[in-house]
Chains A and B, each alone.
Chain A
Amino acid sequence: MTKDNVQGAGEEEQQAQSKKALKKQQKEAEKAAKKAEKQAKLAAEQQEADEDDFAKDRYGICPMVQSQQKLDRALVRVQDLTPEKAEQQIWVRARIHTSRAKGKQCFLVLRHQQFTVQALLAVGDRASKQMVKFAANLTKESIIDVEAVVKKVEQKIESCSQQDVELHVERIFVISQSEARLPLQLEDAVRPEGEGDEEGRATVNQDTRLDNRVIDLRTTTSQAIFRLQSGVCQLFRDTLINKGFVEIQTPKIISAASEGGANVFTVSYFKTSAYLAQSPQLYKQMCICADFDKVFCVGPVFRAEDSNTHRHLTEFVGLDIEMAFNYHYHEVIDSITDTMVQIFKGLRDRFQTEIQMVNKQYPSEPFKFLEPTLRLEYKEAVAMLKAAGVEMGDEEDLSTPNEKLLGRLVKDKYDTDFYVLDKYPLAVRPFYTMPDPNNPKYSNSYDMFMRGEEILSGAQRVHDAQLLTERAMHHGIDLEKIKAYIDSFRYGAPPHAGGGIGLERVTMLYLGLHNVRQTSMFPRDPKRLTP
């Protein structure tokens, strides 16, 4: 290094420094300029915002409704917005389904349960720019109150349920705001599976739905499913009450397991433990011995089965029937099948809208049945299966695939999705099943199937204490545990029979869905305890 170089470097340094300083200064100047610009812009906007907001009092966020005042205002439901109300000025409370701003206009779709309607907010003499901006920024799912004029439209709005009208908004207030980020989008939740894969759009998988059940239940499909389920329960009750049945409530905390020791939940009961009822079987029968003749009960059933299948839940709603008969248990089968047929007819005639709505997302064949219900005997079923190539013994129980195949064969021949299979082999039924009088290998028991899956298992019950004791011993059951049960038949018991169905399973099979969790509001299975 020479002095010159050092000097040169120093000079360069100085030059560089000054260059650097220059650059720095330039940068700072730029920043300051930008900041000033921004501030000027904001100021300008503020000015804009302050000036000309003539619509200030026609929109906003309402304070939380703590019942401060009692407004005498009639709110019209979305489903009642029809061309008859054209030109009327009405108030509507609904959720924001979607909102889309386009220049000086904002298109909102308002939704209430299954019904949607389009609403339009345009800058004009009633609405200011700020109001339109406010509407466009509202979060989805917020609940709003809207005052609007109902207008008829010439072209039908295909995407909404109310296709002939739209609302021209005059006032818009937020009653309850929703968080901006939703865990799942409602359009995705309603999209059919195939469509999602094809167009690359998202569908929501079952676990996400069940974790955020509150939002998932808002979809049109879920609303339709559970309204239909409510219809099933109501038709069940109405039909049985008309037949002279009495509704009873049975205890769910019991001292001994009724069906078998394996699948029962234990609860701690003060100093001892008790069990949650697996079925109301014992108590239904005791009611018959207590002269109620025809009883039914609707209540929860708890099965601690560690099966993670599409059709098992640990807790479900059981609809159970028990009936005393005169001479033959077929009187009871006829009564039960007639009840089921009345339920199917009621659903077919009164719930078509709901069925169509579910089919949009989950297409399926309509449910077919015969009146009076088809009754086949177990031997016929075995013959049909053998003719179709299945190898099975005459007294073997039907496995699930065989049941499904049998369902398809019966559908082919008789075109019905619902039928009864009578006279099951005695070996595969519980100890309280009455054996067949003519053939000791068979029993007076029956199963009912919907779309090839079993929904009801029933039988004529043994009503004689001695025979019951023999059968229990034959099955190796501890007599001490069922002493109270056997005792109820010692003081005169009428011959009786019955059966029970699961509400969720029946709804699932009627609609042709594939997983019972879709028809259970807050399902319980071995892996899920909340919500």
Chain B
Amino acid sequence: MPMYKVKPVSPADIKIDVPSCMYKSPNVHAHGMNCGEHALQNGEVDPSLKALEERQDEVLRRLYELKATVDGFAKTVTTPDADLDASTPSPGPAESVFKGTADLDSLLGKDLGALRDIVINANPARPPLSLLVLHALLCQRYQVLSSVHVHSSVSAVPPPLLSCLGPRHIDSYARQRFQLGFTLIWKDVSELQMKFSTQSMCPIEGEANVARFLFRLLGAEPQDPVAATQMDCWIDKAVFQLSEGGSKDRAAVLRSLNAALGRSPWLLGQEFSLADIVCACFVLRAGQTTSAPVNVQRWLKSCQNLGHFDCVYPFLQ
């Protein structure tokens, strides 16, 4: 169907007397041309507009990238050794800090075709914060089936404690698909207790000792005996002086933490380790972090930036 044609408003060729000092532009109303073709024929303006647009896009993109890189560097400066993905603008879950490997069969016994379930009995009045951090780290390395139960010796437990291990895994109905089980039972016990294979292992008692066992599963134990001893020393300080000691002991530990952290970013030097996890959790639980010494506060901020400690904050007053 022929398109509707508008009758020419004015005749096509009119001679106009134009002053010569003005630029000459072609006659828009010349017969047989439409605007689009005309624009294409007139190459200089449109390609350059396009090029301009492209340049603008390019510049903006590079600006965003630069900004993200600077943000990443800023975080890296304050948290050394962290392996953050610098191109993602929003802080997602941190990648695993520990690169070592662990042989589950040698640590936990031969796999008999059934889920290897670690059972931890804890008192709801004293939630084991360092174990929650270690659980998050384990979940990054292995397929872990986590479950939380309330024992009949306890009548009620506040809801945050029921969801402390995160949301239930979609595949939790098929227990065999998981490499490791992590079962946390809130029970009226005087001392935190871990059971794994009741026939061949005696129960492990105490939050620090269970933390040492779980850390071994990550394969990140310091190989150097000096470093290992220092790590144990810091953990013992946290357990005996920070949580069980009086206010004088606590102050002394905070001072020694401050001194050590003045020399290096983490307690054992350049590497993040179990000592940092346990000490940070105990310091956070003791409270009054705003009045802690400068290096300690900086160190706590670094721990928070790593992202593994997110599960702990709901339990601090």
Contact = CB atoms under 8 A, between A and B. Distances in A.
Nearest to A382: B114
Interface residues of B, number: 25
Given A412-B198, A415-B187, A380 B114 contact: yes
B176 A379 contact: yes
A293 B223 CA distance: 61
Given A330-B173, A367-B152, A413 B195 contact: yes
A386 B147 CA distance: 25
Contacts of A384: 114
Interface stretch (A180-188, A243-251, A369-377): A369-377
Contacts of A368: 151-153
A500 B117 CA distance: 29
Given A383-B112, A414-B119, A371 B149 contact: yes
Contacts of A375: 175
Contacts of A330: 173
Contacts of B198: 409, 412-413
A388 interface: yes
Contacts of B121: 415
B175 A380 contact: yes
B115 interface: yes
B165 interface: no
Q: Assign chain A's interface to a size class.
A: 20 to 34
A342 to B, nearest CB: 12
B114 A383 contact: yes
Contacts of A388: 199
B197 interface: yes
B150 interface: yes
Given A328-B173, A377-B176, A370 B185 contact: yes
A226 interface: no
A382 B147 CA distance: 21
B183 interface: yes
Contacts of A275: none
A348 B154 CA distance: 11
B153 A380 contact: no
Contacts of B149: 370-372, 374
Contacts of B150: 370-371
B152 A383 contact: no
B140 to A, nearest CB: 25
A44 B317 CA distance: 90
A370 B199 contact: no
Interface string A366-405: 0111111011110110111011100000000000000000
B92 interface: no
A283 interface: no
Contacts of B183: 414
A482 B114 CA distance: 38
A349 to B, nearest CB: 8
B146 to A, nearest CB: 13
Interface in A341-376: 344-345, 348-349, 367-372, 374-376
Contacts of B199: 387-388, 409
Contacts of B119: 413-414
Contacts of B100: none
B175 A348 contact: no
A412 B121 CA distance: 12
Given A388-B199, A413-B198, A379 B113 contact: yes
Contacts of A382: 114
Contacts of B147: 372
B192 to A, nearest CB: 14
B150 to A, nearest CB: 5
Interface string A485-507: 00000000000000000000000
Contacts of A409: 198-199
A384 B197 CA distance: 9
Given A377-B175, A383-B114, A384-B114, A414 B152 contact: no
B168 to A, nearest CB: 10
Contacts of A345: 152
Contacts of B114: 377, 379-380, 382-384
Given A387-B199, A413-B119, A415-B185, A348 B112 contact: no
Most chain-B CB neighbours within 10 Å: which of A330, A370, A376, A386? A370
A377 B173 CA distance: 10
Contacts of A369: 151-152
Chain A to chain B: the 4 pairs with minimum beta-carbon distance, closest first:
A383-B114, A380-B114, A383-B112, A370-B149
Given A348-B152, A387-B112, A413-B198, 5 more contacts: A344-B152, A345-B152, A371-B152, A376-B175, A412-B195
11 contacts: A344-B152, A369-B152, A370-B151, A371-B152, A380-B115, A380-B117, A380-B175, A382-B114, A383-B113, A387-B112, A414-B185
